A and B are shown apart, each in its own frame.
Chain A
């Protein structure tokens, strides 16, 4: 039982990172209706830039982190301006493929600069475990969980109360109506990519502190799909909950598969089996808007 409790806690931590990445994904999808297959690679780029600044340029972690965030804002803007804007109004498949192409380019740039070996972050937080409910938990896990929570709260408030956030929601709801009310759609699109890039970067840095980083970090981007489908593609709350649920679920399923069927590595697919099931039963997820079509 203790083993499963440990799995549950691990799941919550991994899940909180999924939530962060899913948050970025949902922000883009809400505002621009673009399905971003490069989300995982954005996580990876953020993690590597922060690594490069702290370890290779010896900048203190706090400043390096802020500089990474600034970089990710620029990255998000550049991606939106160069790759996505020319494709506004094109078919789904073109937009999907352009983000896939983007993911290849980002991955290749990271590999060219930093190689494919695993890189380890310097210790930022103390390593002595803290006891929670009789279980030892590393402080970095708690920090990860807390940071995700804070970011989620910040973005919820942003979308609810700030002028910009309300404009983004209006754009998501109806682009033409928003435009006629004087909202600059282009600015909104750029902003949504910036936000997505920033939250992915935060996710990447947290992940780097937990596990170290390597050039396969981008696979994380695929794990986001079960989370966002479960939560509903256009719901922030859904992204947060979906990420946590998928994180816990895949860890528990992995443990069960190992105990009961002696299957290794089930973690990699558990989330996708769940994904297929959700798509069959409730394709718009827990909190997503159902698309109703009338002839």
Chain B
């Protein structure tokens, strides 16, 4: 916790509080209120953007818990999302109520995550990254070839979510559902980071040997991190399935895993705010590119053919530039901006 000017703590409890000042609380309250009202003002395209961002936020914050907080690199996050998506879709197709199906999807993903997390006891760093890469590719193969469960290459259509007879069948209704679950998961991860478990995760990330000497059971905690992270990923997957109403195996390819990793790197490793910023950034980037290419299509008429290649190139370039020039991510930049204005005009 970084000390702030004029804030003095008299107890550890106060220091570990989520909100350290009333000002923060008010600001966040106003922000949430504005978000809650926004679907009534914005048109449905922007609301759909908000919805995609909500799903990305859940996925990013869960990966950040595993990679940013606990230090376990995972290149298989997209596949765990897929496990949750298919499990939740199958559950609702067999008549399980939506919320129960969502939890079921989460548990299925957690199970998959923990199975592939078992090697994490022996593997560190790059070896773990390669093991999770294998998990990603193997699960992708399963999605494509287990036709009775996933529909294979034909895909699987899913019904809109329905809670106690209330159907979430348009963008605005979906927004409230997605927003509340995204907010819940943010709250959950924030709180996990403040507990004994969260501190154990951080100690494993910082130096696993000291953590073990201090009495942290490495295997149990690493497995817990994989399970918790994959659970949330599964929930995000289930929501995604019921939002897009169609699942295909290509949705959960390695590109998805990489884009989630990019989100947490661009946002800031180990930071909840950073996950949100990264998710917003990575979801809006392709849309902004589409808009730009539309705007210059008069000058360069062929640009629409190259839009996919361009998108990929810009994505890679943004990732490289962030890693070189802003390795701490957007969250850190945001903190610096706030610090600058706090002392303005007497910044030293």
Contact = CB atoms under 8 A, between A and B. Distances in A.
Contacts of B258: 100
A101 B319 contact: yes
Contact of B320 (A96, A101, A108, A293): A101
Interface string B42-53: 000000000000
Interface string A55-94: 0000000000000000000000000000100110010111
B306 A112 contact: yes
A293 to B, nearest CB: 7
Contact of A104 (B122, B134, B306, B315): B315
Nearest to B137: A272
B131 A111 contact: no
A269 interface: yes
A94 B327 contact: yes
A199 interface: no
A276 B141 contact: no
A187 interface: no
Contact of B145 (A90, A229, A233, A263): A263
A265 B249 CA distance: 15
B123 interface: yes
Contacts of A225: 130, 133-134
Nearest to A109: B313
A224 to B, nearest CB: 10
Contact of B313 (A83, A93, A112, A279): A112
Interface stretch (B29-37, B179-187, B261-269, B273-281): B261-269
Interface string B309-348: 1111111111110011001000000000000000000000
Contacts of A106: 316
A295 B324 contact: no
A260 to B, nearest CB: 15
B134 A275 contact: yes
A204 to B, nearest CB: 19
B294 interface: no
A105 B317 contact: yes
A103 B319 CA distance: 11
Interface string A245-270: 00000000000000000011110110
A202 interface: no
Contacts of A111: 306, 308-309, 312
Contacts of A275: 130-131, 134
Given A83-B324, A90-B327, A108 B138 contact: no
Given A222-B133, A276-B131, A268 B317 contact: no
Max chain A CB contacts within 10 Å: which of B73, B209, B306, B312? Answer: B312
A112 B310 contact: yes
A87 B315 contact: no
A279 B123 contact: yes
Max chain A CB contacts within 10 Å: which of B134, B135, B319? Answer: B134
Nearest to B142: A269
B309 A272 contact: no
25 contacts: A35-B126, A92-B129, A93-B129, A93-B269, A97-B323, A98-B324, A100-B261, A101-B319, A102-B320, A104-B319, A107-B312, A108-B309, A111-B306, A112-B306, A112-B313, A222-B137, A226-B134, A263-B145, A264-B145, A265-B141, A269-B137, A269-B138, A276-B131, A279-B130, A283-B122
Given A101-B320, A229-B130, A272-B137, 6 more contacts: A97-B319, A100-B319, A264-B145, A272-B133, A272-B134, A276-B119
